[in-house]
Structure 1
Amino acid sequence: MIQVEKLNTGYGNVQILREISFEVNEGEVVSILGTNGAGKTTLLRTISGLIKSWSGTIKFQGEDISKAGPDDIVKRGLIQVPEGRKLFSTMSVYENLELGAFTKEAKKKSKDNLEMCFELFPILKEKEKQLAGSMSGGQQQMLAIGRALMSQPKLLLLDEPSTGLSPLLTKQVFSIINTIKEQGVTVLLVEQNAAQALNLSDRGYVIENGQIVMEGSAVELSNDTNLKASYLGVTS
């Protein structure tokens, strides 16, 4: 689905990502794990075309998108749910969802996709006329994911979906991500909650200081002694 090879980029003259290489196969959930400042969000923003790569390649479904703009990347079916949700807070739930149907193909199927979102997130149907900014953090996260699903993603990029949520809401959001996977959507998940992420994922990569330092199946990473100590809070 997506293949990143020797990706380098940063902000101004400051390099953030160094020789990043990884891949996501169709139908997988793949996690990118790491602490704050490791380069996770920069990686997703570069894949989405919001930050230009300095060198290296990003291929989506076999085509090089390294120099493509964000609108072109969205049209190809690569959709990001940004950290912090980035909703239009003074617009209604319905209006936010409607804006997710950005492409011509998504607009044609917007009614069906809207019903799918309401089925997946009943609270959004209940509050469709309410302003997005007046909803709880968990509800806003559901709306952000729903807006992305309105774009009919082939690959969904999720940036820290559990940020600011209670353990109960975090569990609920991860359950929804699993449902999305079961519907055939490929997911690249950036998350600090390593235990939850690996429990959901097929494979994972660990990024530190802008470099991939570890990779493996979710089971392998969950059982790795160093990873347990650093990210899972297990010392023995």
Structure 2
Amino acid sequence: MLKVSNLVAGYGNIQILRNLSFEVKRGELVTILGTNGAGKTTTMRAISGILPLTSGEIHFDGQPIHKKTTEQIVKSGLIQVPEGRKLFSDMTVLENLELGAFTKHTRKNLQKNMDYCFELFPILKERKTQIAGTMSGGQQQMLAIGRALMSEPKLLILDEPSIGLSPLLTQQVFDIISEIKENGVTVLLVEQNVNQALSHADRGYVLENGEIVMEGMAKDLLNDEKLKASYLGITT
């Protein structure tokens, strides 16, 4: 569904991504792991058309998207939940969800998609008239995911969904991400929480200094001694 080939990108004269290549197959939950500064968010910005490429290609659902605008990419079904959620904090929960359904097609299915979001996140239904900025961090993350689902994504990109959340809320969010995948949405998950990410993913890539340094099935990476020592602090 998504194929990134030899991606080079950065900010000004600073090169962040160095010939980055990876793929996400239809129906998978794939995770990209890495520490702060590894290039994870830069990768997501490049895929979504927010950051121009120096070189390389990105294909989504069989079509090249690396020269398309962000609006065109979103309309094609590639939807991102950005790091930090980026909610409209002065608007209500309901208004934030409605803004997720901004295309003509999704606007027609607004109520159906709203009902689906409320089924996944009952707290959003309870708080639908609450101002988004007054909600807890976990509730705001649920709202950010719900807003993205209102756009009917073919591929949902989640950038650091567990950041700032308690272990309990982190577990809840990851369980919901797995449920979204089981409901037919392909998921690309960018995370620092290695254990949770690999426990829920099908495959994983490890990103360091803008390059993929390790890849494989999630269960194999979770048991990799090098990965345990580098990211989990576990040595044997």
TM-score (norm 1): 0.99
Matched with 1:230 is 230
Structure 1's unaligned 5+ residue stretches are: none
Please tell me the residue identity of whatever aligns with 1:158. Answer: L
What residue in structure 2 maps to residue 13 of structure 1?
Answer: 13
| Residue 67 of structure 1, CA deviation | 1.1
In the alignment, structure 1 residue 67 sits paired with structure 2 residue 35:
no
1:163-182 alignment runs, 5 A limit? 163-182=163-182
Distance 1:70 1:167 in 2: 33
**In structure 1, C-alpha distance between the alignment counterparts of 2:207 and 2:222, rounded to whole Å:** 15
Determine helix, strand or coil for the equivalent of 2:4.
strand
Partner of 2:145: 145
1:32 is aligned to 32
For residues 234 and 189 of structure 1, the distance between their equivalents in structure 2, rounded to whole angstroms, comes to: 23
How far apart in 2 are the matches of 1:124 and 1:89?
14
2:129 — aligned with what? Answer: 129
Q: Tell me which residue corresponds to 1:82.
A: 82
SS at match of 1:205: strand
Deviation at 1:233, TM superposition (A): 2.3
Distance in 1, matches of 2:221 and 2:50, equals 30
Corresponding position of 2:46:
46
Q: Secondary structure at the match of 2:87?
A: coil
Does 1:213 find its partner at 2:213?
yes
Q: Per-residue CA shift, 1:69-128, capped at 9, x if unaligned?
A: 110000000000000000000000000000000211111101100000001000000000
Match of 1:100 in 2: 100
1:165 partner SS: coil
Task: Give the match's secondary structure for 1:148.
Answer: helix
Stretches of structure 2 lacking an aligned partner (at least 5 in a row): none
Give, in whole Å, the separation in 2 of the partners of 1:16 and 1:145.
Answer: 27
Q: Which residue of 1 aligns with 2:196?
A: 196
Residues 130-167 of structure 1: per-residue CA shift (max 9 Å, x gap): 00000000000000000000000000000000000000
Separation of aligned partners in 2, 1:196 and 1:234: 15
1:141 aligned counterpart, secondary structure? helix
1:233 maps to a residue whose letter is G
Q: Secondary structure at the match of 1:91?
A: coil
Shift of 1:219: 1.3
Stretches (4+) displaced over 2 A = none
Matched residues in 2 for 1:214 and 1:104: separation? 41
Q: Equivalent residue of 1:143, what SS?
A: helix
User: Which residue in the other structure is 2:58 paired with?
Assistant: 58
- The alpha-carbon deviation at position 223 of structure 1 amounts to 1.3
Aligned length: 236
RMSD: 0.5
